[in-house]
C-alpha cells in the first residue's frame, strides 16, 4: 500500500492496520506529512502541521501497540480545526486577533488523545468560524481539492479539504449553522453534526447560544462512527445509544419512512436544479432498498429568524472575547456590530421559543423516521465570491444563494444531521444530500448512510491530485 492509498484508507481501516502491525503509526504519519508537503501549498488546508511532534507521538503509539495496548484510534493521525484548544498551542480562530497559547486541551482533544489519536495539525477556518467559505485576510483562501477554483465550503473548510486531498484520514470540525455538513458536501465527504452536547464543547459552553456542536469529517460512515464513539460523552450530554455508534453503522436500518423536502426555509432562497437532482436520485435508490419515500415539507415557521439572532449574537460575543478585537477584519467587525444591535430581551425571547419551534419542526417525524433535503442551494461556488463584500451583503448572499438555509434549522433544534455523498456531477464536483434524524438518533442516520454507502460507494473517489 503506497502513501496515498494508506492515507485515503480512512481512520477505521488505519486503526485496524496499526492494530495488526501491518503498518506502523510512524509510517502512516510520515505518509500524511508527505502529502501535506506535496499538496498544501496549492490547497491551504493546514495552518500548521505538527511534524516532529506527531512523529514522536507516533513512535510512542507504536511502542504501545507492540506492548499489546489497545485503544480505538491508537496511532491514527487526525486534523484539528483551529478553533479548538490544544495545550501549549495558539488557537487562532482564523484571525490574527487571537491571544497566547491555550493552557489545556479542549475536552474533545483530550478524548481523542485518550483514544490514542495523534493530532497532526491545525486546519484553517474563516474568522471566528463565521462563513460558509474558508477565506481570511490573515491566512488566505482554502481551495477545494476537487476543483481548485472552487470553495471547499466553511467554516470547517480546512478540515474537509485536508481529508478530501488525502492529507489525513479524518478531521474534527465544528458546526454552528452547517459548518461540518457544508464543507463535507463541497468535498465529497461524510460529515456528521451530532446531537447537541453529544461531544462536549468545553472550554466553550453554549457557544453561539446553543447552535454550535463538534463532529467528524471523514471518508466513510464507519470512520465517523468510530470518531464519534471515541469522543462522545461529557457532563450534561445526552445518554449514549444502544447499540453503539460503531454497531449502528454496521447494522442495516430496516424499512424506514423517509420524507424529502426541496423547499428552502429562507425567504428568497433559490434552490438550483443541480442540487435537487441528487435528492431525487437518492430517493429512487432508497425506494429500491425497501424504504417508503414521500415528499413532505417541515413547518419551518420563523426558525431562520431565530437562527440569525443567535448567530449574530454569537459572533458579537466571540469578537468581544478576542485578545485583540481591533485586529479583526472589517467584515467581521460589521457582523459583531449587527449582533450588538440585538437587545438582550430579543435573544432571551428567542431562547424561550426554542422548545415550541423545535416541536413544530419535528412534527414531521410523527409520520417519518428521517428527513432528506439538499445540503447546499447550489454546487460549490468559486473562491473569492464574497471577497470585499460587507457584513450584511455576505450574510444575505450566503443564505439565499449558496449555503446555510437547509442546514441551520437543525442547529437550533439541536438534533443530528449528516451530509452524505451522492456521486459527482457533470463537472466532476461532489454531490450530496442531507439526512436529518429524530433528536438523539444518530444511530439511524449512521445505519441509513452506511446502507447508501454500500449501494453507492464513494470512498474510492479521489480528486484529480498527485
| Rounded distance between C-alpha atoms, residue 121 and residue 228, angstroms | 19
Residue 257 CB neighbours (<10 A): 14
Pairing relationship of beta strands 118-123 and 77-81 according to DSSP bridges: parallel
Instruction: Say which residues have a Cβ less than 8 Å from residue 338's Cβ, sequence separation at least 6.
Output: 312, 316, 391, 392, 395
369-407 per-residue burial string, b: 16 or more CB within 10 A, e: under 16: bbbbbbbbbebbbebebbeeeebeebbeebbbbbbbbbb
pLDDT in tens, the chain (466 residues): 788 999 999 999 999 999 999 999 999 999 999 999 999 999 999 999 999 999 999 999 999 999 999 999 999 999 999 999 999 999 999 999 999 999 999 999 999 999 999 999 999 999 999 999 999 999 999 999 999 999 999 999 999 999 999 999 999 999 999 999 999 999 999 999 999 999 999 988 889 999 999 999 999 999 999 999 999 997 678 877 777 999 999 999 999 999 999 999 999 999 999 999 999 999 999 999 999 999 999 999 999 999 999 999 999 999 999 999 999 999 999 999 999 999 999 999 999 999 999 999 999 999 999 999 999 999 999 999 999 999 999 999 999 999 999 999 999 999 999 999 999 999 999 999 999 999 999 999 999 999 999 999 999 999 999 8
Q: Which of 179, 212, 432, 447 is catalytic?
A: 179
Residue 179 known to be catalytic: yes
Residue 49: other Cβ atoms inside 10 A: 23
Q: Please check whether residue 131 lies inside any domain of the structure.
A: yes
Task: Kindly name the residue from 130, 136, 155, 261 that is annotated as catalytic.
Answer: 155
**Residue 258 falls inside a structural domain:** yes
Q: Specify if 322 maps to a domain.
A: yes
What residues make up the domain containing 361?
A: 3-455
Question: Residue 463 falls within a domain, yes or no?
Answer: no
CB atoms within 10 A of CB 189: 34
CATH of the domain at 302: 3.90.1300.10
Residue 1 has what pLDDT?
A: 79
Please, is 263 exposed, middle or buried when counting C-beta atoms within 10 Å of its C-beta (0-12, 13-18, 19+)?
A: middle
Q: Who contacts 451 (Cβ-Cβ below 8 Å, separation ≥6)?
A: 252, 253, 289
Q: Residue 293: inside a domain, yes or no?
A: yes
**Which residue among 24, 25, 81, 147 is the active-site one?**
81
The CA-atom distances, in angstroms, between 269 and each of 179, 262, 411, 429 are 18, 11, 19, 22
CA–CA separation, 370 and 280 (whole Å) = 15
The answer as to whether 362 is a domain residue is: yes
Q: Which residues contact 450 (CB under 8 A, 6 or more apart)?
A: 221, 222, 249, 250
* pLDDT at residue 150, as a whole number: 98
In a domain, 461, yes or no: no
Listed residue (366, 228, 222) closest to 299, CA to CA: 366
The per-residue pLDDT for range 257-310, each reduced to its tens digit, is 999 999 999 999 999 999 999 999 999 999 999 999 999 999 999 999 999 999
Q: Which helix (H) or strand (E) holds 288?
A: helix 273-288
Tally of domains within the chain: 1
pLDDT value of position 236:
73
What is the structure's pLDDT at 234?
75
- Kindly state the DSSP code that residue 127 receives in the 8-state scheme: G
Q: Is 54 a catalytic residue?
A: no
466: in domain: no
Question: Is residue 276 annotated as a catalytic residue, yes or no?
Answer: no
SS (H, E, C) 320-386: HHCCCHHHCCHHHHHHHHHHHCCCHHHHHHHHHCHHHHHHHHHHHHHCCCEEEECCECCCCCECCCC
CA distance 95 to 128: 7
Helix (H, G, I), strand (E, B) or coil at 425: coil
Cβ atoms of 419 and 190 within 8 Å: the answer is yes
The contacts of residue 336 (CB under 8 Å, 6+ apart) are 315, 316, 319, 320, 325, 328
Q: For residue 121, what is its C-alpha cell? A: 495539525
Amino acid at each position: 500500500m503506497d502513501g496515498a492509498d494508506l492515507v485515503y484508507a480512512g481512520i477505521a481501516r488505519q486503526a485496524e492496520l496499526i492494530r495488526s502491525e501491518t503498518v506502523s503509526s510512524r509510517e502512516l504519519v510520515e505518509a500524511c506529512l508527505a502529502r501535506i508537503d506535496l499538496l498544501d501549498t496549492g490547497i491551504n488546508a493546514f495552518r500548521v502541521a505538527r511534524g516532529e511532534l506527531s512523529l514522536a507521538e507516533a513512535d510512542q503509539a507504536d511502542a504501545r501497540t507492540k506492548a499489546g495496548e489497545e485503544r480505538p484510534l491508537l496511532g491514527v493521525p487526525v486534523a484539528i480545526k483551529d478553533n479548538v484548544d490544544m495545550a501549549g498551542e495558539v488557537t487562532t480562530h482564523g484571525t490574527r486577533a487571537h491571544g497566547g497559547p491555550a493552557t489545556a486541551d479542549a475536552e474533545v482533544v483530550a478524548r481523542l488523545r485518550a483514544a490514542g489519536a495523534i493530532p497532526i495539525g491545525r486546519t484553517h477556518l474563516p474568522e471566528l468560524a463565521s462563513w460558509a467559505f474558508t477565506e481570511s485576510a490573515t491566512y488566505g483562501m482554502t481551495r477545494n481539492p476537487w476543483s481548485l477554483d472552487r470553495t471547499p465550503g466553511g467554516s470547517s473548510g480546512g478540515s474537509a479539504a485536508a481529508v478530501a486531498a488525502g492529507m489525513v484520514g479524518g478531521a474534527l470540525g465544528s458546526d454552528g449553522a452547517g459548518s461540518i455538513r457544508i464543507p463535507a458536501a463541497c468535498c465529497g465527504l461524510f460529515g456528521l453534526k451530532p446531537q447537541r452536547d453529544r461531544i462536549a464543547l468545553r472550554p466553550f459552553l453554549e457557544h453561539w447560544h446553543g447552535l454550535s456542536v463538534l463532529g467528524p469529517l471523514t471518508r466513510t460512515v464507519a470512520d465517523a462512527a468510530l470518531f464519534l464513539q471515541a469522543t462522545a460523552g461529557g457532563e450534561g450530554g445526552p445518554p449514549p445509544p444502544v447499540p453503539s455508534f460503531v454497531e449502528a453503522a454496521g447494522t442495516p436500518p430496516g424499512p424506514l419512512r423517509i420524507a424529502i423536502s426541496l423547499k428552502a426555509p429562507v425567504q428568497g432562497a433559490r434552490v438550483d436544479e443541480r442540487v435537487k437532482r441528487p435528492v431525487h436520485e437518492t430517493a429512487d435508490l432508497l425506494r429500491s432498498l425497501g424504504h417508503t419515500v414521500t415528499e413532505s415539507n417541515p413547518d419551518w415557521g420563523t426558525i431562520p429568524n431565530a437562527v440569525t439572532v443567535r448567530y449574530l449574537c454569537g459572533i458579537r460575543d466571540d469578537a468581544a472575547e478576542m485578545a485583540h478585537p481591533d485586529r479583526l477584519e472589517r467584515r467581521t467587525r460589521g457582523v459583531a456590530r449587527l449582533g450588538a444591535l440585538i437587545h438582550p430581551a430579543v435573544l432571551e425571547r428567542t431562547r424561550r421559543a426554542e422548545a415550541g419551534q423545535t416541536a413544530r419542526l419535528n412534527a414531521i417525524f410523527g409520520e417519518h423516521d428521517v428527513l432528506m433535503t439538499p445540503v447546499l442551494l447550489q454546487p460549490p461556488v468559486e473562491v473569492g465570491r464574497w471577497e470585499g463584500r460587507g457584513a450584511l451583503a455576505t450574510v444575505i448572499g450566503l443564505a439565499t444563494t449558496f449555503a446555510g438555509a437547509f442546514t441551520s434549522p437543525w442547529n437550533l433544534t439541536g438534533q443530528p444531521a449528516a451530509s452524505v455523498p451522492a456521486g459527482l456531477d457533470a463537472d466532476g464536483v461532489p454531490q450530496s444530500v442531507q439526512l436529518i434524524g429524530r433528536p438523539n438518533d444518530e444511530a439511524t442516520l449512521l445505519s441509513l448512510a452506511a446502507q447508501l454507502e454500500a449501494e453507492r460507494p464513494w470512498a474510492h473517489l479521489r480528486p484529480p491530485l498527485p
